Homo-oligomer: A and B are copies of this chain.
Amino acid sequence: MARVVVDVMPKPEILDPQGKAVQGALPRLGFSGVVDVRQGKRFELELDGEASEAVLAEVHQMAQTLLSNPVIEDYDVRVLP
């Protein structure tokens, strides 16, 4: 059993309305000092076996085809210890 995390974030040049909404809400709640917020998604996958190179290549395929939209989002795959 291996656990893999796929982080999906909007590309830097893409407008992020969710992040902007959070950023706008923070001062109204009394929080200051946050100059930018980006909101993305985090997937935790539990794999039936070891995180071999072949399996991780398949996770990259999943990230590209299902978990992220490569036009507007970047993703990052990492194995949890």
Contact = CB atoms under 8 A, between A and B. Distances in A.
A54 B42 CA distance: 27
Interface of A: 1, 7-9, 19, 22, 25-26, 29, 31, 33-49, 55, 58, 61-62, 65-67
B34 A47 contact: yes
B29 A65 contact: yes
A42 to B, nearest CB: 4
Most buried by B among A37, A45, A48: A45
Nearest to A3: B36
Given A38-B44, A42-B41, A33 B49 contact: yes
A58 B31 contact: yes
